[in-house]
């Protein structure tokens, strides 16, 4: 209640004014909110309409609210690039396999750590948390991966870095707060072991946290770029993001930068593709998230707040 004493002091005799100041605040609030929405949405919306527009109209600044010179050429050009589809296939594979591995590793560890009767619980928590703040660094990690013969393999993209300490902490807190201890005691009396209790009772009760962690891990894999840059040489293993960099940022097509006319053509095609490639690469992952959003309240929020 100490929090409220200043209010009492300051608000003497102000009660009448409050109603009008409240409605002023309401108006200001919604004006700012709408401006904020515009700043957030417009660049995204612009990419969408630009992807359907004639590239010279976009470059000339004639595209503002609606597509101009409607065309699907950017998307058609996209279809012809086999390396984008190889990247797409690889990213989907990495995302599916990597998310499954990540969920198994992190959820099971988190559950074990959430149990108060786990001997050595404190030490084990510290064992994981320490890696959040201290690590061997780029070169030693690179050499380790190479020593295990994982350099330039499928496995390097899904296995070595699947332990997410932050994920474990959030999931552990979720289990601590939402799986009552009595449940385990009751199950034990019925002769149920830890593993069966975990798979048969805990997991079905934890859909929210599984969905949320699954989304986080999947987004991480879908957007992953650094590991691929460092550990993959074989172009047939390259994920979408690595190929996107060539198209979007360094502006190189698979044929490389040729000379004269060929280079001109490549540049024009690259410019046309840029907008559509952004859409094709981003829409899938954005489509997943609204379905998971309803779990945020149960999942993340419980996990995060009571940490």
Partner 1 sequence: MRSGQASSGGTLMAVKRNWGLYLLLLPAVVLSLLFAYKPMYGILIAFKDYSPALGITESPWAGFKYFEKFFNSYQFSNTIKNTLIISLYSLVTFPIPIILALMVNQMRPNRFRRFFQTVSYMPHFISTVVMVGLMVILLSPSTGLVGNLFSLFGKEAPDLLGSSSLFSSVYVWSDVWQHVGWDSIIFIAALSAVDPSLYEAATVDGASRWHKVRYIDIPMLMPTAVTLLILRVGGLLGVGFEKVYLMQNDLNATSSEILSTYVYKIGLLSSQYSFSSAVNLFNTVINFILLIIVNQISKKISENSLW
| 63-92 positions binding partner 1, by CB under 8 A | none
Rule CB under 8 A: say whether 116 interacts with partner 1.
Answer: no
Rule CB under 8 A: say whether 48 interacts with partner 1.
Answer: no
Residues 75, 97, 100, 108: which binds partner 1 (CB under 8 A)? Answer: 108
Residues 31, 32, 79, 262: which binds partner 1 (CB under 8 A)? Answer: 32
Residues 94, 174, 175, 275: which binds partner 1 (CB under 8 A)? Answer: 275
| Contact stretch for partner 1 (CB under 8 A) within 77-85, 171-179, 255-263, 271-279 | 271-279
Q: Nearest approach, Cβ of 277 to partner 1 (angstroms)? A: 8
Q: Nearest approach, Cβ of 103 to partner 1 (angstroms)? A: 11
Rule CB under 8 A: say whether 137 interacts with partner 1.
Answer: yes
Q: Nearest approach, Cβ of 283 to partner 1 (angstroms)? A: 10
Residues 191, 193, 204, 260: which binds partner 1 (CB under 8 A)? Answer: 193
Nearer to partner 1, 85 or 161 (CB): 161
Rule CB under 8 A: say whether 139 interacts with partner 1.
Answer: yes
Rule CB under 8 A: say whether 40 interacts with partner 1.
Answer: yes
Rule CB under 8 A: say whether 128 interacts with partner 1.
Answer: yes
Rule CB under 8 A: say whether 138 interacts with partner 1.
Answer: yes
**Which H, E and C letters describe the chain, residue by residue?**
CHHHHHHHHHCCCCHHHHHHHHHHHHHHHHHHHHHHHHHHHHHHHHHHHHHCCCHHHHHCCCCCCCCCCCCCHHHHHHHCCHHHHHHHHHHHHHHHHHHHHHHHHHHHHHHHHHCCCCCCHHHHHHHHHHHHHCCCCHHHHHHHHHHCCCCCCCHHHCCCCCCCHHHHHHHHHHHHHHCCHHHHHHHHHCCCCHHHHHHHHHHHHCHHHHHHHHHHHHHHHHHCCHHHHHHCCCHHHCCHHHHHHHHHCCCCCCCCCCCHHHHHHHHHHHHHHHHHHHHHHHHHHHHHHHHHHCCCHHHHHHHHHCC
């Amino acid at each position: 209640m100490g929090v409220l004493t200043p209010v009492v002091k300051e608000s003497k005799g102000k009660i009448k004014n409050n109603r009008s100041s409240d409605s002023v605040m309401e108006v200001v609030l919604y004006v700012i909110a709408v401006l904020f929405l515009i700043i957030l949405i417009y660049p995204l919306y612009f990419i969408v309409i630009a992807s359907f527009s004639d590239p010279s109209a976009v470059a000339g600044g004639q595209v503002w609210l609606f597509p101009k010179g409607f065309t699907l050429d950017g998307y058609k050009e996209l279809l012809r690039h086999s390396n984008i589809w190889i990247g797409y296939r690889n990213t989907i594979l990495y995302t599916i396999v990597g998310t499954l591995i990540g969920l198994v590793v992190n959820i099971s560890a988190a559950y074990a750590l959430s149990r108060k009767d786990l001997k050595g619980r404190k030490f084990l928590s510290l064992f994981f948390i320490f890696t959040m703040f201290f690590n061997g660094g780029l070169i030693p990690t690179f050499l380790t991966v190479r020593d295990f013969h994982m350099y330039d393999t499928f496995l390097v993209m899904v296995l070595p870095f699947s332990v997410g300490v932050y994920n474990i902490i959030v999931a552990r807190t979720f289990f601590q707060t939402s799986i009552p201890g009595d449940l385990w005691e009751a199950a034990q009396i019925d002769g149920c072991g830890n593993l069966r209790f975990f798979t048969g009772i805990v997991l079905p009760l934890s859909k929210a946290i599984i969905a949320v962690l699954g989304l986080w891990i999947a987004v991480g894999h879908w957007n992953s770029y650094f590991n691929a840059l460092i550990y993959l040489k074989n172009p047939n293993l390259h994920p979408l993001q690595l190929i996107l960099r060539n198209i979007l940022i360094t502006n190189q097509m698979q044929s490389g930068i040729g000379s004269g006319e060929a280079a001109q053509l490549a540049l024009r095609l690259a410019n046309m593709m840029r907008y559509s490639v952004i859409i094709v690469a981003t829409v899938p992952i954005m489509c997943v998230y609204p379905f998971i959003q309803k779990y945020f309240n149960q999942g993340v929020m419980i996990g995060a707040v009571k940490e």
